[in-house]
């Protein structure tokens, strides 16, 4: 259940990064090269976030708490930078007409990227986490089978 859910979230982030890379390519073909900076930053930072996410998963499995904390810090930073860059690309879309750029569907691409990023960031935080009974002391772990209390005559 969880692995399918995280694959869907990964697909949403990859789609957002690919949309921004596509937008950067369109802007590079028909506009001032300065306008493609925000989509390039968004795309690169979102792709780099997968590296830090992979490091976090590896550190989590190896129980390396410091590496895990550093990687989640770097992952958060890259995703926030990517989301801000997508917002910047959306904001500069108003300039395309003034600069006589021939870009189709730039607003739709930016809104879709933002929606995918918001969902990809927010959905995991709304999921209920699995209980890990391995690390709990014995007296705090819940019994596997509930039994009726003993009744004495």
How does pLDDT run across 95-144, given as a tens digit for each residue? Answer: 887 887 887 777 888 888 888 888 877 877 676 666 554 555 555 556 56
How do the domains of the chain map onto residue ranges? 2-125
Alpha-carbon separation of residue 29 from 33, 35, 63, 91, 102 (angstroms): 8, 11, 47, 20, 9
Task: Write down the number of H helices and E strands in the chain.
Answer: 5, 0
What pLDDT was estimated at residue 142?
61
Which positions ≥6 away from 68 have C-beta within 8 Å?
Answer: 56, 59, 60
SS3 126: helix
């Amino acid at each position: 259940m969880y692995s399918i859910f995280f694959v869907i979230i990964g697909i949403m982030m990859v789609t957002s990064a690919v949309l921004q890379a596509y937008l950067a390519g369109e802007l590079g073909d028909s506009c001032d090269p300065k306008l493609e900076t925000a989509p390039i930053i968004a795309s690169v930072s979102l792709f780099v976030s997968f590296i830090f996410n992979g490091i976090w998963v590896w550190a989590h499995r190896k129980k390396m708490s410091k590496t895990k904390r550093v990687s989640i810090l770097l992952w958060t930073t890259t995703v926030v930078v990517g989301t801000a860059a997508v917002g910047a690309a959306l904001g500069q879309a108003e300039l395309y007409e003034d600069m006589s750029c021939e870009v189709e569907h730039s607003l739709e691409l930016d809104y879709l990227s933002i929606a995918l990023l918001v969902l990809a960031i927010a959905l995991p935080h709304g999921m209920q986490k699995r209980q890990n009974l391995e690390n709990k002391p014995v007296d705090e772990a819940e019994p596997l089978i509930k039994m009726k209390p003993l009744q004495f005559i």
